[in-house]
Structure 1
Amino acid sequence: MSRALIVIDAQESFRARAQWSAIANPDIAEPIGRLVGLARAHAVPVYWVLHTEPDSGGTFDPGQGHVRPLAELDGPRPGEPVLYKTSHNAFTTTNLQQRLTAAGVGELWVCGIRTEQCVETTTRVGSDLGYRMVFVTDATTTEPVGGLGAAEIVERTEAVLRDRFARIATVAELAAEREGAAA
């Protein structure tokens, strides 16, 4: 089955917000970078999705200069699409589904910022669209929300997605699978 990696909202807009200090993993670029490297090493196409709020004046307003991948990430490279969304999921306001269909993709690895928001929502919509979803949990991060700590949010997200909308995996598990498949 053909697969692709969707990197969701791993962007400087979050670092520019005051809430960045509360984010569970401020070094999120490291596991995302490992996952991107794994994908590239195994010819898994990488799609970059960035959240925008045009004309808002905030950190997600493209005019403010923060709507770009985290500086530590090696990407995007030539041929890797960069899509700009204005909704929580990566499908509704982009042509991601059309691109994936044209490429014959059936499985999506997802990672990024806001575990319970944009990454989870993309996972749910992707599942509804018929993709086999792999939620790469350690390549996501979030901040506390509504009295819940970040670790609780990640745990809840894994619980509601597992075996219903997605397979939950880590970067190391995917790497081991890829290495096993190559042997």
Structure 2
Amino acid sequence: MNSALVVIDVQESFRQRANWAAVSNPAIVDRVNRLVEHARAEGDLVVWVLHAEPGTGDVFDPALGHVRPIEGLTPAAGEPVLTKTSHNAFTTTNLQQLLTERGIRELIVSGIRTEQCCETTARIGADLGYRVTFVTDATATHPIEHRDAPPGRSLDEILADPRTLSADEVIARTEYALAGRFARITTVEELTGS
């Protein structure tokens, strides 16, 4: 076991938001399941990471019950399930300790949001000395509003704004930023051979 698949924030919280209708990868559960099956077959560690914002009263507040894997994803007995409160999977968890104890040297990154928690985890993982593989089509994101956009707009208004970055633009930017610097970019099919 040299590799660990890290499944980041593929959780019900995101499906509770209005912008889920514009998610880049509606098939993320199927793609993550393919990676999980492959990792298990290879004897690799699968680490599940969930994002929580306790006491906020929003969809990431564990008290509301949405901080759990999206329906269709099920951690197996013995697979670590970590809860983070930062954008990356390292800072507020014991992920690095788990990886070190098991002699893991390679991370395979998947999850929600491509440019936020997934990219940040990949960058920190690389800085910590891990070989990082970023499986872009096993990540998902949403269009991003311009920094000067007024708050509280509907999804239709956000999508109609020419300053909004499309999900495809966000994903492309992440691949450009990571490739050759922090991670090897790949697909589910390339990684699993199926």
TM-score, scaled relative to structure 1? 0.94
Alpha-carbon shift at residue 45 of structure 1 (Å): 0.8
**1:173 alignment partner in structure 2:** 190
Alpha-carbon shift at residue 19 of structure 1 (Å): 1.3
Kept after mapping to 1: 8 A contact 2:25/2:137: no
**1:154 alignment partner in structure 2:** 171
Equivalences for residues 68-107 of structure 1 within 5 A? 68-73=68-73, 75-107=74-106
TM-score, scaled relative to structure 2? 0.89
Gaps of 5+ in 2: 146-163
Alpha-carbon shift at residue 27 of structure 1 (Å): 2.2
TM superposition outliers: structure 1 runs of 4+ over 2 Å: none
Is residue 143 from structure 1 mapped to residue 142 from structure 2 by the alignment?
yes
In the alignment of these two chains, the number of paired residues is 176
Letter in 2 for 1:163: G
Measured in 1, the distance between the counterparts of 2:169 and 2:30 equals 22
Alpha-carbon shift at residue 153 of structure 1 (Å): 0.7
Alpha-carbon shift at residue 65 of structure 1 (Å): 0.3
Gaps of 5+ in 1: none
Measured in 1, the distance between the counterparts of 2:18 and 2:56 equals 17
Measured in 2, the distance between the counterparts of 1:172 and 1:8 equals 19
Larger radius of gyration: 2
Kept after mapping to 1: 8 A contact 2:10/2:69: yes
Cα RMSD (Å): 1.1
**2:122 alignment partner in structure 1:** 123
Is residue 50 from structure 1 mapped to residue 53 from structure 2 by the alignment?
no
Measured in 1, the distance between the counterparts of 2:88 and 2:27 equals 23
**2:161 alignment partner in structure 1:** none
